[in-house]
Structure 1
Amino acid sequence: MKRVAVVGGGISGLTAAYRLRVLLGADAEILLFESGDTLGGKLRTVELAGRRYDVGAEAFLARRPEAKALVEEIGLGEALTHPTKARAKIHAGGSVTGLPPGTIMGVPASPDAVAGVLSDAGARAVAAEGTLPPVSLPEGDVPLGALLRERFGDELVDRLVDPLLGGVYAGGADGLGLRATMPGLANAVAAGAPTLTAAAASLMPASPSTAPVFGTLLGGLGGLVTRLTELARADVRLGMPVRSLTRHGEGWRLELGAAAPAHAPEDTPVDVDAVVLAVPAPAARRLLDQAAPEAAKAFGEIELASMAVVALALPPGTELPDSSGVLIGAGERRPDGKPFASKAFTFSARKWAHYADGPLLVRGSVGRFGEPGALHTGDDELVRVVREDLAELTGVTAEPIDTLVTRWGGGLPQYAVGHLDLIAGIERSVAEVPGLEIAGAALYGVGIPACIGTADAAAQRLAATGAGTR
């Protein structure tokens, strides 16, 4: 294998390119194609009021090994940092309260764990789950929302589970699958837990862990993008979408450009021995249409959610709540009856010690699956409504000294019922095609560690099998 193309310059594509360099050595030619004008995908670090600030993913799950291990492997371990002890809050039932511990994505390990978030009737519904007939799950996936509403009632889902899921998928429980989003809970039921409360309790550590849950890099996660790019030593082609992917002899031919070739040198087809596709589901569907049609069809069934991050730099000395942020349920309303435009705020100046001095940095997140709401407005209006939400939730009305709106159109795949079956079918289809691999957020998780894991595995398979055999 002499020449490999990686299509997609997000964290998955960059990890694949880096791992291929490690495995294939200095003589291999690695070409990295990115349709946009920058690398990093959902990892984007910008300048806001003179500070380096993440306006895409801002952290990774530190209790999964992939991201932390990669950070240390590539020499960024000294830049690794973890959140302060500030806790998150949630706007539920018309008021702000502490985000309760003792849950698995809002599913309680005991009725007491969520009593402070629910009404008396909601708390009784949660307590009654222990008296219901044992949970029985089919072999396939089941709708998460329907199961939780049947067992716990609507209030737990609306006030707690949906806001937590919205922070990960920009979608609520009613559109997601249990096994695709909470596999640990499903496995605990399969192992004999009679109720969902008991299943959640079985997943809680015997003693509180002191290990940090999340991590990020001083100076922003753009440092991870820069370092992977340096080490991959790939031939990077920015602003160069791959239009089609076809078999060419024992390798592959990539046609470049968004439209018909313009007979410019950069539009000349590129021939390679192997390909890693690390692109969103719509692009994967288009590129696999000839090479792996069954996989293409399955990718076409994955729906996407859009969102935006509104970054605010507030004047030094502005009083922020003593919390890391606040989640907002979809059904929550302001006193005037209008829904909140925002689904969450991150008070970065409280959450991360390295942002404690200088301008106070805050992120507002907007956008839920199927409910674009304020995303249809312009940037100035989006800043205005997010500031209104911030004032209502915290009383903070200070005029920002800098703002930035970053839109992520179709940025988050939805792990609906049947998602794991779709991915299994995609992997079977791709496995039949020599020299082709896939990676990315559409597969087994939207977080940074999951993306790194799929990319690393794809590179390992290519290096182990070679371009012409499987």
Structure 2
Amino acid sequence: MSALRLAVIGGGISGLSAAYRLRALLGGSAVIDLYEACDRLGGTLKGVDLAGTKLDVGAEAFLVRRPEVPALLAELGMASRMVHPGTLGPRILARGTLESMPRPTLMGIPADPAVVAHLAEPADLALMTDEPRRPLEWTRGQDISIGGLVAERFGRSVVDRSVDPMLSGVYSARADDLGLRAVLPALAAKLDAGSASLTAAVADLIGAASGDGPVFGAMSGGYQELVDVLVERSAAAMYTGTIVTDIRRGETGWLVDGIAYDGVVCALTAPAAARVLDSEPDLSRPLSGVDISGSAVVAMAFGPDVVLPELSGVLVAGDETVVRAKAFTFSSRKWPHLAGHGALVRASFGRFGAPVSDIGDDQLIDWATSDLSTVVGIWGGRGALASIDAVVQRWPAGLPRYGTGHADLLADLESGRPRGLVLAGATYDGVGVPACIGRADRAARRLVTDLTD
């Protein structure tokens, strides 16, 4: 058989991981071309120089209790580059105070009123206490927003001050805008199986959770280290600054803007994938229905006189009004390898339904420094702060929204997938780096199976 010619569309972590896996599976004879519209590779894995220190301004950390990233790092000989946070934890800014994180929870959903007693309103604590005795109307297979379910069973303040801060940091969307079945499939499965109450279902899942050791990891030199190694090891021809406009079936394989390939990995955002796959309506139609959540990160460096709170960061409650940011990461507190580089902070803005695309960079920096000054003041530190360096990184198409019905959309995509074309990216099996790497690996293996069986 002649050497396979493969195209990977998209040079983020999904496309790069898929290209690397294709090379590992097919060896040096395969022709792999990777197309990326931007002039750089890595997608939302991006580091910037901030006052002489390299700081990630996109994805920052990964769950080490998921196997994908540690396994890939070990395979690449990079396991020694993985670092873990220190012992400091975050707090939640709610009702103008910095409150302890509710624990244990399932992505902020508690199973015991005592866990959120310091956050929730008294009426909602009473509602939650009574929840196991209230009839639960649930139809197997139904989908509902996480916020709608938790508000009805536990009360709105539990959503705003416990669930929203957790989900907004991961999905850049409020609980009301996220579907249960796509975001928390294990909880949906418990309810499908006949759990008598939301309390019981959540308690079962919290009780089944296990794992010792660090929860999160990062790269000591930033994610760019991983990007560079994947580029090298994939040995793909990299065409940056190249916008693909059309993917369609050819006589024997696929055409990418008229260039013939045996197979294609499409690792684009859902709107971009829908446009280039217009000739495949079974794919383009469901993809065009996926909303995108835009956001922005303001990375700031402060001089040695600025003392940050002894926290890894702050999550902001959905009903909090004293700041505009949705979260802060005190990077130089959270990561021991960044200690000694001054006070380094990431402030996050924007979520689904509340874009910041019309807010200028200077205004975002003003908001970030003002909001941080408010948080430091609440903690008991000095007031108005002034950064010595600041960088704004915008992610206008950062994350897909996993709304109600998203799981059905994915099923439609799977049933409509033609031979020789696979989909990868955050749209499908999770938005985090581990999920994207896992999806890319499976996509590459499916493509090889398509073309070699």
TM-score range (shorter-chain normalised) is: over 0.9
Identify which of 118, 142, 160 aligns with 2:120: 118
Residue 413 of structure 1 aligns with which residue?
400
Of 308, 313, 334, the match for 1:325: 313
Counterpart of 2:177 in structure 1 is 175
AA aligned opposite 1:377: I
Q: Point out the more displaced range, 111-120 or 212-221.
A: 111-120
What letter matches 2:261 in structure 1? V
* Residues 135 and 194, structure 1, Cα contact 8 Å, conserved in 2: no
Matched with 1:275 is 264
The match for 1:248 is 250
SS in 1 for 2:55: strand
Tell me what 2:366 maps to: 384
Native 8 Å contact 1:87 1:98 kept in 2 = no
Matches within 5 A, 1:305-384: 305-334=293-322, 340-372=323-355, 374-384=356-366
C-alpha distance in structure 1 between counterparts of 2:63 and 2:376, whole Å: 27
Over the matched positions of the two proteins, sequence identity in percent amounts to 46
Deviating more after overlay: 33-42 vs 113-122: 113-122
- Using the alignment, how far apart are the partners of 1:74 and 1:135 within structure 2? 49
Whole-Å Cα distance in 1 between the matches of residues 131 and 361 of structure 2? Answer: 45
1:207 and 1:56 mapped to 2: Cα distance?
28
* Aligned mates of 1:272, 1:41 — CA distance in 2: 24
Distance 2:236 2:371 in 1: 44
Q: In structure 2, what is the Cα distance between the partners aligned to 1:379 and 1:345?
A: 17
Report the Cα distance in structure 1 between the residues aligned to 2:285 and 2:436, rounded to whole angstroms: 22
Q: Pick which of 126-135 and 13-22 moved more.
A: 126-135
- Structure-1 separation of matches of 2:125 and 2:96: 16
C-alpha distance in structure 2 between counterparts of 1:387 and 1:122, whole Å: 34
Question: Which amino acid letter does the alignment assign opposite residue 273 of structure 2?
Answer: A
Amino acid across the alignment from 1:272: Y
The Cα of 1:128 is off from its aligned counterpart by 2.1
Counterpart pick for 1:425 among 390, 412, 424: 412
CA distance in 2, matches of 1:4, 1:197: 49
1:58 to 57, 60, 67: 60
* Distance in 2 between residues matched to 1:274 and 1:91, nearest whole Å: 49
1:131-170 matches, cutoff 5 A: 131-134=133-136, 136-170=138-172
Q: Aligned equivalents of 1:210 and 1:253: distance in 2? A: 48
Match for residue 437 of structure 1 among 397, 414, 422: 422
Give the secondary structure class of the aligned counterpart of 2:326.
strand
Q: Any idea what SS the aligned residue of 1:141 has?
A: coil
| 1:3 and 2:8 correspond | no
8 Å Cα contact 2:357-2:396 kept in structure 1:
no
**SS of the residue 2:373 aligns to:** helix
| Local SS of the residue matching 1:327 | strand
Structure 2: distance between partners of 1:299 and 1:23: 28
Deviation at 1:397, TM superposition (A): 3.1
- The match for 2:385 is 398
Aligned counterpart, 2:14: 12
Q: Which amino acid aligns with 2:338?
A: Y
**Partners of 1:250 and 1:209 in 2: how far apart?**
48
Cα deviation 1:239-278 (Å, max 9, x = unaligned): 00101112222122211xxxxxxxxxxxxx4221110000
- 1:189-243 deviation per Cα after TM superposition (whole angstroms, max 9, x unaligned): 3344322222222122469742211111101111111111110000000000101
1:331 positional shift:
2.1
The answer to whether the Cα contact below 8 Å between 1:135 and 1:195 also exists between their aligned partners in 2 is: no
The one-character-per-residue Cα deviations of 1:276-316 (angstroms, maximum 9, x if unpaired) are: 000000111011111x2111000000001110000001112
The answer to whether the aligner puts 1:453 opposite 2:438 as a matched pair is yes
The residue that corresponds to 2:450 in the other structure is 465
Cα deviation per residue 1:109-168 (whole Å; 9 max; x = unaligned)? 211111111232332222222221145243132222211111011111111111211111
Cα distance in 1 for partners of 2:208, 2:414 equals: 37
SS in 1 for 2:385: coil
Structure 1 residue 43, shift from structure 2 partner: 0.6
Instruction: State which drifts further: 177-186 or 400-409.
Output: 177-186
Unaligned runs of 5+ in 1: 256-268, 335-339
Q: How many Å separate the matches in 2 of 1:140 and 1:21?
A: 41
Which runs of no fewer than 5 residues in structure 2 stay unpaired? 378-382
CA distance in 1, matches of 2:74, 2:25: 18
Judge conservation of contact 1:101–1:113 (CA < 8 Å) in 2.
yes
CA distance in 1, matches of 2:65, 2:142: 27
How many Å apart are 1:65 and its aligned residue? Answer: 1.0
| Partner in structure 2 of residue 265 of structure 1 | none
Does the residue aligned with 1:405 lie in a helix, a strand or coil? strand
How far apart are 1:333 and its partner, in Å?
1.4
Aligned partner of residue 415 in structure 2, secondary structure: helix
